[in-house]
A and B are shown apart, each in its own frame.
Chain A
């Protein structure tokens, strides 16, 4: 049984004001109420999402290998990557913190990229199984995405606060930039992905 969809009826939802419009035969329809350009589906969604995801995946490597934070103290200089920070917290008796950082900074970005890849492939080939699970997955991805910026937030805070000249200085490393880019790119990718595509093909098939 197929449910009637707006797309099937030739109607387009205005993404800005939520008005259901009938684009008629306009090649570039606009919302009659707010004037937003109307698209039946997000333009070039799959291709753009792929591009962003690939970029995120590429940057994920330096984000984890390069130091995110450089600490210069009077006696010592250390460069810490995300992983070395986790190991440090684990070894110094804060396993809870270590687990949190691991989850937020390593596991979630990676899981996000993998899930997006899964969604994209499924949408591209019109897999019609587990539609609801994929929809849930997408919702979780969208919700959880912003929390990956926790690391970056901590780093920017400490870099701003710990400035004691030669006594102690903390600098953000190149890894932080890469990591931030990964998070931003996955967020944009999640935004670019049109979840309606999950159903489109499967419905077309049926």
Chain B
């Protein structure tokens, strides 16, 4: 429909169309967009590592999208989701690890939540007070990949990048130990308690410890471990005993070890070696006891002062300890017996009782006079112990087998009890003295004496009133009689004079007679 007014009817222009297969430049735009988008997508895919799931008892402080997974404080992943597991017992935390952290999805990796924590003497995770909790990880070395983990409730004591060795200890009880408790070697802290668990049979506890390099080379097969827990205060037949390791262990407990003196220190124990954890150092360094043998002693006397754990002594060497003390009634003799069950370690007797028929050996020993006797171990505390000794004069006795494989050994009365018996017999004799009658007679005597004295008293008072004046008169009379001018005196003097005259006459007579004996017949001659 061209305008008819136009003068020139120009020929239609040649239209040369661009070949259709050459794409227009505009298609570069979506191409570039695709490249950019593809690059971003690839980078995103490359940067996301594996997604793992970790089970925790609680998801306290864990926020999806906010909480990080950190290793040595480097972010290696994010928590993307938190949900409960099927039976609602655990919180499952889904973690997207970074691509570079792929190796953390190994079977032996351990995860835990880092929160502020006060454990023993250490405070950890203070930084998380402000930043919120994060998930800590201890990278495993395993090549096997794992996607589901069970998180630890507390940070592991030892991380896998710390050189050292792990050992297994077997203990009777855990004492005051806890996870993280220190391990000491010559009072240097060289490791930690990593974990402990009750054995399946409930009879003992398995403790896992970690000893840092280079101290692990001091652990040889001959190393002994013991509880260095708190204060070890024992008050037994041996007296008062107080042992501590260091001030920290008093509060926290710990484990100490020491190679046996004289043992070879150049052969370290292999990783995972098993040891016994003794209750204290003295038990630890004791030679191994060998199989225990249960024995029963039936004491006829009181077992007061004998406690569970009291030593069984043989020639001054402790070979066992009391396990239980009972009381039974023997219907045959109508007496009460105290059966004391004890454990002895026959190997401590050395060659005296070595392997072989233990019963026959025991019988032979009993035949030689082996008896058990209660003896006072500590006079101060009154603690008793059981002594095994030879009493050749003791009444012959035999061993008896008790149910449960225990051997019943004969007993003799305690020395103290013998003394007591003698004292008692003396007392009985003293008791035989008729103190009652003696006392009665004495009282009667005293009464009589009293009466006599009373009577004497009456006599004395009579004498005072009647006799004394008379006596006074008599004395005065005597005194008068004896005075110088008394007639008696005069008379006496005259009489004496007369007697003197008479004596003189007699003397002259005697003289005359001496001279003239015929004077007796002829009389005195007149002057001759």
Q: Are these two chains actual partners, yes or no? A: yes
In whole angstroms, how far apart are the Cα atoms of A66 and B10 in the complex? 59
Nearest residue, chain A, Cβ from B128: A75
Q: Across the interface, do B37 and A58 meet the contact criterion of CB distance under 8 Å?
A: yes
Known A-B contacts A51-B27, A76-B131; A58 and B44 likewise in contact (beta carbons under 8 Å): no
Known A-B contacts A10-B1, A27-B13; A181 and B66 likewise in contact (beta carbons under 8 Å): no
Q: Is B416 an interface residue (CB 8 A)?
A: no
Q: Across the interface, do B13 and A25 meet the contact criterion of CB distance under 8 Å?
A: yes
Within 8 A of A (CB), among B1-34: 1-2, 6, 10-13, 24, 26-27, 29-30, 32-34
Q: Is B317 an interface residue (CB 8 A)?
A: no
In whole angstroms, how far apart are the Cα atoms of A74 and B68 in the complex? 14
Q: Is A54 an interface residue (CB 8 A)?
A: yes
Interface flags, B121-133, vs A, CB<8A=1, else 0: 0000000001110
Q: Across the interface, do A47 and B26 meet the contact criterion of CB distance under 8 Å?
A: yes
Q: Which residues of A contact B423 (CB under 8 A)?
A: none
In whole angstroms, how far apart are the Cα atoms of A27 and B1 in the complex? 18
Q: Is B40 an interface residue (CB 8 A)?
A: yes
Interface flags, B115-150, vs A, CB<8A=1, else 0: 000000000000000111000000000000000000
Q: Across the interface, do A62 and B66 meet the contact criterion of CB distance under 8 Å?
A: no
The size of the chain B interface, using a CB distance under 8 A, is 27
Interface flags, A165-206, vs B, CB<8A=1, else 0: 000000000100010010001000000000000000000000
The SS class assigned to the A binding surface is helix
Q: Across the interface, do A58 and B30 meet the contact criterion of CB distance under 8 Å?
A: yes
In whole angstroms, how far apart are the Cα atoms of A76 and B127 in the complex? 12
Q: Which residues of A contact B34 (CB under 8 A)?
A: 55, 58
Q: Is A96 an interface residue (CB 8 A)?
A: no
Q: Which residues of B contact A74 (CB under 8 A)?
A: 130-131
Q: Across the interface, do B130 and A56 meet the contact criterion of CB distance under 8 Å?
A: no
Q: Across the interface, do B24 and A56 meet the contact criterion of CB distance under 8 Å?
A: no
**Among candidates A27, A47, A178, residue contacting B36 with C-beta atoms closer than 8 Å:** A178
Q: Across the interface, do B40 and A174 meet the contact criterion of CB distance under 8 Å?
A: yes
Q: Across the interface, do A78 and B30 meet the contact criterion of CB distance under 8 Å?
A: no
Interface size class of A (residues with CB under 8 A): 20 to 34
Q: Across the interface, do A66 and B66 meet the contact criterion of CB distance under 8 Å?
A: no
Most buried by A among B11, B32, B75: B32
In whole angstroms, how far apart are the Cα atoms of A181 and B30 in the complex? 11
Q: Is B65 an interface residue (CB 8 A)?
A: yes
Q: Is A52 an interface residue (CB 8 A)?
A: yes
Known A-B contacts A44-B24, A52-B26, A76-B66; A181 and B13 likewise in contact (beta carbons under 8 Å): no
Would you give 29 A-B contacts (Cβ < 8 Å), ordered by A?
A: A8-B1, A25-B10, A47-B26, A48-B24, A48-B26, A51-B24, A51-B27, A51-B30, A52-B29, A52-B30, A55-B30, A55-B32, A58-B30, A58-B33, A58-B37, A59-B36, A61-B37, A61-B41, A62-B37, A65-B44, A74-B130, A74-B131, A75-B131, A76-B66, A77-B68, A78-B65, A84-B65, A178-B36, A181-B36
* Sample of 12 more A-B contacts, CB < 8 Å, known A25-B10, A74-B131, A84-B65: A27-B13, A44-B24, A48-B26, A55-B33, A55-B34, A56-B33, A59-B36, A62-B41, A75-B130, A77-B75, A178-B37, A178-B40
Residues of A within 8 A of B (CB): 8-10, 24-25, 27, 44, 47-48, 51-52, 54-56, 58-59, 61-62, 65-66, 74-78, 84, 174, 178, 181, 185
Residues of B within 8 A of A (CB): 1-2, 6, 10-13, 24, 26-27, 29-30, 32-34, 36-37, 40-41, 44, 65-66, 68, 75, 130-132
